[in-house]
Structure 1
């Protein structure tokens, strides 16, 4: 794992809140999405048609938008609606097995302990969120009720539009003009673009299997390949406790 871009001492900020994407960022669900998609394609002799070029385009999109793109890109002989029916059946079986990704629990627990405002902003619809979070209560209870899903009535457009993050930010009690003090954690290109379009500081936790996008990386506040590499001091929060310390103070 690698820290691709970290803010200098002068570039560090005093953030007001953090907004977290979910799929592939908090939970390992992106691998499950891939598994389910390949299983469906294999039923129609198209198992080899799925690749990271398609995966990159799909990541972060709302399910309706993703279904249309998936059918177009793979040549699957189903309508987007028919594909979603098959996919949801597999997801119901697979998603309860999803788990937090490395570094997630440590960071979220730390921010919660520091009484730092946090929220989940996910393109997943509410029913899908319920399935994914069912066995991950230890993580999602840390966010209280600050969960915004992609089917929220206030969200007109999905990523890369900024709607999702702007709504989540507002629900935390912050005014729109303070967006520049918000931090968005994202793994998908469309999500990174959405955070930037919202005028927020984006931490791109990019999958090392993704092709590099250096121009987009330059626009991000930080770029890492694992949440475990993020330093809360970059955003003005106390650092993680070291051995023999409690909340950064020697015991």
Structure 2
């Protein structure tokens, strides 16, 4: 009797087991079909214009060199977005003198260059050309001007490249607010670490490459204490002072006679 009950119970379970096997087979079929259609979709995507670069943008660049940055990156619209190396493009863009660091990002159909650029801090006069100098100390000879610029100080008669690099570091520390006060920068023939500056307010300044930024930082306050323009030089060093001189005795170097010394500050 017990054996008959066992046989009946097993027979009753057979339909349920078949239903479970059917469900498992259906799930496997759905899984394989999903994989198949995903692969088909990927192939179609890469073969269609959907994977092509529709637009290349530049952000963080505010002086109009967008076309130059895109050309330098060698990224091309209309080609597959996945066939173009963003790492190589970044390295190429960072070779541009006025770009200190670049970030290039990819979206579904766009490539965006983020290029915060350094400011133009000065011009270097060379062979009747004015070569832009950027905050990272790089010169952009391709942007040289043959007319006298007025948007940044001009460096004249500089021969020592090592000192020039050191000066660029100090100049960048100074900041654009103070740099805008300077018209011309001349190294001394006798001592190339000594500088003569002609300021936009008409004052002549003597200072040094070493500690240039810290020495020149208080210039606006010190200059206001000079009541009126006079013949002389404002020494901007550790302790600023104004030194007047007779222009007839002034020749060659910055100062040939010391007649009047007025402490400032």
Does the pair score TM above 0.5? no
- Bucket of the pairwise TM-score, normalised by the shorter protein: under 0.3
Question: Higher helix proportion, which one?
Answer: 1
Question: Higher strand proportion, which one?
Answer: 2
The structure with more radius of gyration:
2
TM-score, length of structure 2 as denominator length: 0.22
